[in-house]
Amino acid sequence: MKFTQIFWDNDGVLVDTEPYYLQANREALAKLDITLSDELFVEISLTRGKSLLDLATARGHADVTIEELKAWRNNRYAQLLDLEDMTLPGVRETLNTLHGKLKMAIVTSSAKSHFDIIHKHTGLLTFFDFCLTREDYTNSKPSAEPYLLALSRSGHEPHRSLVIEDSPRGLDAAKTAGLTCWVIPGQHTSEHEFRGADRILSSVEELPKLLL
């Protein structure tokens, strides 16, 4: 049975923002002499969906210090995002081909303030029927809540809905919600096995020939 809608992850699927998020967290944690490796970034953020600032909590830093660090990190991330259009190769062309043939929405863990900065430069939002950001739900990926909310809002059947993800936590969220999930591994997840994925793609540009 053909899909009638696609739920897109944002960071790492539509836009190349993950290196900047890593940089902002790395710079923030360095203020407390904590080193954030690529491996920790993948394990804590992309796999478990936890805050990278938990590394500071584990070192015994006070809550007020963590909150100040979080504010600094968020401001730094916003600065980095406001530099250029970060749309990944092939995304604009793919969305243009699929637009009007399938309903599409974005389901992201990004804060709305960061999401708005990102798409101020991309011009991609005209392709989507709605977008869910971190403020729209209580529990973030790998919880199923974001995708269950998207299903409820869309009114489409789960078996007609496809999720496009790039991270282990996103895959877990989609599958727990009972949805088909195709994964496009990114720079930091290319070595992950993505067990449970319904399909693994090498490029977003494969989608039109598979869906239309």
The answer to whether residues 122 and 191 belong to one domain is yes
The answer to whether residues 25 and 97 belong to one domain is no
In 3D space, the residue among 27, 44, 26, 50 whose CA is nearest the CA of residue 36 turns out to be 26
The answer to whether residues 114 and 184 belong to one domain is yes
The answer to whether residues 63 and 100 belong to one domain is no
- Model pLDDT for residues 40-89, shown as the tens digit of each residue: 999 999 999 999 999 999 999 999 999 999 999 999 999 999 999 999 99
Q: Are 4 and 102 in contact (CB under 8 A)?
A: yes
The answer to whether residues 107 and 68 belong to one domain is no
The answer to whether residues 10 and 23 belong to one domain is no
The answer to whether residues 129 and 149 belong to one domain is yes
pTM of the model: 0.95
The answer to whether residues 170 and 96 belong to one domain is yes
The answer to whether residues 101 and 63 belong to one domain is no
The answer to whether residues 43 and 138 belong to one domain is no
Helical (H) or strand (E) element with 21: helix 18-30
Q: What is the DSSP secondary-structure string of 61-75? A: --HHHHHHHHHHHHH
In 3D space, the residue among 109, 108, 139 whose CA is nearest the CA of residue 125 turns out to be 108
Q: Tell me how far apart the alpha carbons of residues 115 and 134 are, in angstroms, rounded to a whole number.
A: 10
Q: Tell me how far apart the alpha carbons of residues 17 and 86 are, in angstroms, rounded to a whole number.
A: 7
In what side-by-side order are the strands of the sheet with 5-8?
Answer: 130-132, 103-107, 5-8, 161-165, 180-183, 199-200
What range does the domain containing 26 cover?
Answer: 18-81
- Model pLDDT for residues 90-140, shown as the tens digit of each residue: 999 999 999 999 999 999 999 999 999 999 999 999 999 999 999 999 999
